Amino acid sequence: MFNDEIIVLSREVKEAKEQGRPLVALESTIISHGMPWPENVETALELEAEIRARRAVPATIAILDGKVRVGLEEEEIHRLAKSNDVMKVSRRDLPYVISSGKDGATTVAATMIIAEWAGISTFATGGIGGVHREGENTLDISADLEELARTNVAVVCAGAKSILDIGLTLEVLETRGVPVVGIATEEFPAFYSRKSGYAVNLSLTEPMEIARMLQVKWEMGLTGGVVLAQPVPEENALDEKEMDDIIQRALQEAKVKGISGKDVTPFLLGHVKDLTAGKSLSTNIALVKNNARLAADIAVALHQLSS
């Protein structure tokens, strides 16, 4: 499933693959739709720097002019960060964004698909999509969960935002056989806060023990991803109660405006950002960087195991 005409590796990523160096995938929806300019470019570049500093190689993934790109140049990250004409691309959107030659920012699901094509098994992001509140009626369940069930990529995240129904999200992951690992915690983190009230499946701390579990899973032919949920650093965590109020208001607004489909998540994220007057943005930046560091350490450990 590798076609040079559709998939283009950056020079850095190509060299890393030739030399068998550890790689870490990064998504681009966070750049185009998840954060405002200029923090989005700054963060995207800082994430790459964190990964390089840990002796791994970053591969930011996106679609540019209908080409699947694994590893981007700085100008290309700027283009994704500044343009208003970038599609949000999940699994179902990939064929069209490619056939029409458009630009697309990849969600967790689409980034996992492309990472697997490119032979990258570790991916760092902020939060995964999940079952939305009232999802039992609306069936608004992110394609990220389906992808985690089928694609062999480990996703380091800070859990999921409580714009979602975290309990239902964890139930779906359990049903679909996706291990949910708490990093040095017994509790699934809720992105802005370290706690959600829901237990994880198991807790691990060391990159090497995590890498060993991933290796066993995939060697056994148990296809699918793993959620590696790392709580936001203590000093960057936001007050849970305050965030809950803000999220309630955002959900109410979405309902009144009749927001649906792929617009739900970006709408809620944008509202939460506005209502916290930017405070949530610095938390967001801190936790993604923390995740990039852990993902790099896991990629290095996986590489040690396989060499």
The set of catalytic residues is 27, 161
Among the listed ranges 40-48, 203-211, 212-220, 262-270, the one in contact with ligand PSU (CB under 6 A) is 262-270
| The binder of ligand PSU chosen from 123, 191, 192, 267 (CB under 6 A) | 191
Q: Is 108 annotated in some ligand binding site? A: yes
Nearer to ligand PSU, 215 or 240 (CB): 240
Least distance to ligand PSU, CB of residue 259, Å: 11
**Mode of pairing for the β-strands spanning 226-229 and 104-106:** unpaired
Nearest of 280, 169, 148, 279 to residue 217 by alpha carbon: 148
Distance of alpha carbon 16 from alpha carbon 154, whole angstroms: 19
Nearer to ligand PSU, 14 or 92 (CB): 92
What H or E segment, with its residue span, contains residue 226? Answer: strand 226-229
Among ligand PSU, Mn ion, none, residue 29 binds (CB under 5-8 Å by kind): ligand PSU
Q: Per rule CB under 6 A, is residue 192 in the interface with ligand PSU?
A: no
Q: Per rule CB under 6 A, is residue 6 in the interface with ligand PSU?
A: no
Residue 46 burial (C-beta neighbours within 10 Å; 0-12, 13-18, 19+): middle
Distance of CA 143 to the CA centre of its chain: 12
Q: Per rule CB under 6 A, is residue 29 in the interface with ligand PSU?
A: yes
Least distance to Mn ion, CB of residue 171, Å: 17
User: Where do runs of H (alpha helix) occur along the chain?
Assistant: 11-18, 29, 39-53, 74-82, 94-99, 108-117, 135-138, 143-150, 166-175, 207-219, 240-257, 264-275, 279-306
| The binder of ligand PSU chosen from 71, 104, 126, 225 (CB under 6 A) | 126
Residue 242 burial (C-beta neighbours within 10 Å; 0-12, 13-18, 19+): middle
Q: Per rule CB under 6 A, is residue 144 in the interface with ligand PSU?
A: yes
Nearer to ligand PSU, 27 or 116 (CB): 27
Q: Is 142 annotated in some ligand binding site? A: yes
Q: Is 144 annotated in some ligand binding site? A: yes
Q: Per rule CB under 6 A, is residue 267 in the interface with ligand PSU?
A: no
Structure-derived torsion over alpha carbons of residues 217, 221, 222, 226, reported in degrees to the nearest 10: 50
Q: Is 88 annotated in some ligand binding site? A: yes
Amino acid at 127: G
Share in percent of the chain as helix, strand, coil (round to 5): 50, 15, 30
Are residues 88 and 33 in contact, defined by beta-carbon separation less than 8 angstroms? yes
Residues that bind Mn ion (CB under 5 A): 140
Q: Per rule CB under 6 A, is residue 189 in the interface with ligand PSU?
A: no
CA distances from 51 to 24, 118, 242 (A): 7, 18, 32
| The binder of ligand PSU chosen from 12, 16, 23, 27 (CB under 6 A) | 27
Binding residues for substrate: 88, 108, 142-144
Binding residues: 88, 108, 140, 142-144
Positions that interact with ligand PSU (CB under 6 A): 27, 29-30, 34, 90, 107-108, 126-127, 129, 142-144, 161, 191, 262, 265, 269
